[in-house]
Amino acid sequence: MRTQSIGVLLSSLLLAASACNDDANDEPAKPTETRPVVEQVAPPLDLKEPPEDATKTASGLIYKKLVARETGETAKRSDTVMVRYTGWRQRTGQTFFTMNRSGDAMGIDVGYAAPGFGEALQELRKGEKAVLWVPPGQGSPETLVYEVEVVDIKSPTAVASRAADQSKSAASSQQPAASSEQTTNAQPVMSPQPQPAPDAQSQPATNAKKPSTLPKAGPTTARGRRR
């Protein structure tokens, strides 16, 4: 009887374990979600197909201006361009970089930028905005798409001149402080105001404050009282 009870118990345990395994196998595996770290921004134009009126250069760069200016300066290779931009991968449409929420512009040296990006910066005027299609082989193994806004253009001469003006302004603002400091340091060299004699308390305070009589105020008062 005891052997039969043990056999029934083991059979029940095996059936329960088998049922649990069947239930677990019936549940579909949940895919692992990978959220991109960079904020995803919707592109202003189709990433796959540039517009027909877009400009194409000899290097394969394609750009389409969203905001155009008829006049204005363009950057040179030696300039620094202040830009705000967002970048997408053309194949996946994923945003890999954006300054969408940042109000500050980023300075990029044209001569040190990626070839396609640096070429595009020299095609845009200050205040213009454009979408760029940079082909593979120009700093990336795949086509990258950028939306770029040129905020400002700074030449090395202008930067050096501005730095010189700031240095002059700083020097002139420090000069009055230095003169004041020299005057303050010179004060201890003068003779301090003498303490009034015990019997000269009735003398008016205005006489003691005269600068010409400060060093000799005490002896003069004493001689006057001996008379």
Print burial letters for 154-190: b (CB count within 10 Å at least 16), e (below 16).
Answer: eeeeeeeeeeeeeeeeeeeeeeeeeeeeeeeeeeeee
* pLDDT score for 165: 61
Establish if 214 belongs to a structural domain.
no
Cα distance between the two ends of the chain: 143
Q: In the prediction, which pLDDT does 167 show? A: 64
pTM of the model: 0.57
- Total tally of structural domains belonging to the chain: 1
* 2 is a domain residue: no
What is residue 123's predicted lDDT score, i.e. its pLDDT? 96
CATH of the domain at 83: 3.10.50.40
In a domain, 126, yes or no: yes
For residue 61, tell me if it sits in a domain: yes
Give me the domain span that covers residue 111.
55-158
Please check whether residue 68 lies inside any domain of the structure: yes
Q: Identify residue 124 by its one-letter amino acid code.
A: L
Residue 187 covered by a domain: no
Tell me whether residue 77 is in a domain.
Answer: yes
Q: Per-residue pLDDT for the chain (227 aa), expressed as one digit of tens each? A: 444 444 444 455 444 555 555 544 555 566 565 666 899 999 999 999 999 999 999 999 999 999 999 999 999 999 999 999 999 999 999 999 999 887 799 999 999 999 899 999 999 999 999 999 999 986 789 999 999 999 999 999 765 555 556 666 666 666 554 444 443 443 333 333 434 444 444 344 444 444 443 333 443 334 444 44
Residue 30 lies in a domain: no
Q: CB under 8 Å to 97, separation ≥6 — which residues?
A: 38, 85, 86, 87
- pLDDT given for residue 218 in this prediction: 40
